[in-house]
Chains A and B, each alone.
Chain A
Amino acid sequence: MNHVDGNALAGQLSDLFAFDLTTAVGRCINCGTSGMLGAAMVHQAAPGTVARCPHCGAVLATIVESSDRIWLSLAGLTAIEVTKPG
């Protein structure tokens, strides 16, 4: 299975955040490029979900789910910018 887009993270992330994180702009900690998380490269074939920077390939975020827990790392992202609703 090939990678998909960050847009595919919307379901998992909506369990954790009150806003749509796929339209938030994040800066890659590795190359400094800013972009919407919806444009990230997302790999879903691993035991968890891995989002990578579309420019340099560095890992931006990982999500691992078990039946009763979710582990989220946003370690590759800095300065996340969210539009306030309404």
Chain B
Amino acid sequence: MSAPPVEPADTHLASEPAAALRTAWRVGTVVEARPETSSARRLVIDVPDWPGNDAGQHLDVRLTAPDGYQAQRSYSIASSGTGTRIELAVDELPDGEVSPFLVEDVMVGDKLELHGPLGGYFIWMPQADTHDPRPVQLIAGGSGVVPFLAMVRAHAEAADPTPFRLLYAVRQPDDVFYRQELTQLAANGLQLDFVYSRTAPHDWPVPAGRITKDALAGFAIPASEKPRVFICGSTGFVELVAGWLIELGHGAGDIRTERFGGK
């Protein structure tokens, strides 16, 4: 009698989401560092034992001072997939303990201690894996756009049929992360909207100002289409937007949030 067919182990592993892979502290080497905006920097880090990550996951960076003092912060990953090179875009917080080092000081060739990939809650996976055809609304406040970069890139790469819309609230045009890439993605199916809170481009139809419930209603996929919504930004921004979405009829269970603190 022959043995029952057994799925090859490697096929089985390949179908597992990266979130299921064991996370660990790892050492990465900075291989690229360039300014993203006047206060932010894009870093590409090579991590030889990186197991890959899902779009939207984060990692922790730990810095150790010569006297042994350690500081640790979480950063969203702008890349996803199976490669060993991961990309971060870090905004410098004036009173930060980790971001000033990553934005001002770290150089190509430097090594960083990283813990990841982390978190299976705030992730997007292609419809081929989830069989969820609902449209996806992404809402970013400032540097909260970083996990969405991973998502819109993964969405484009997979030629995924899920309707994707990104609402990006930012202070001024110069603060936009990944402008060129987002513009290209917008030309290829991503619905991209900006809300400028401080200064709008001179030809912009809407005056600059804080995001309003009306603007949100105009730029977000309506509740009647039952979109899955991801919101990432400062705690104040996320609270405001999530509250309005509930008032606009979105289900609390359809909204996932990633607050990064602050006001």
Contacts and interface: CB of A to CB of B under 8 A. Distances in A.
B47 to A, nearest CB: 15
Interface residues of B, number: 30
B118 interface: yes
A46 B216 CA distance: 34
B5 interface: no
Interface of A: 1-8, 10-11, 14, 18-20, 22-23, 36-39, 44, 85-86
A39 B58 CA distance: 16
B20 A86 contact: yes
B22 A18 contact: yes
B20 A5 contact: no
Contact of B119 (A2, A20, A85): A20
Given A20-B120, A22-B119, A14 B261 contact: no
B235 A2 contact: yes
Contact of B259 (A2, A18, A37): A2
B256 interface: yes
Given A2-B262, A85-B16, A39 B23 contact: no
Contacts of B256: 38-39
Given A2-B235, A39-B256, A7 B122 contact: yes
26 contacts: A1-B261, A2-B235, A4-B235, A4-B259, A4-B261, A5-B122, A5-B259, A7-B58, A7-B122, A7-B258, A8-B74, A11-B72, A11-B115, A11-B118, A14-B23, A14-B115, A14-B118, A20-B20, A23-B120, A23-B121, A38-B119, A38-B121, A38-B122, A38-B256, A39-B121, A86-B20
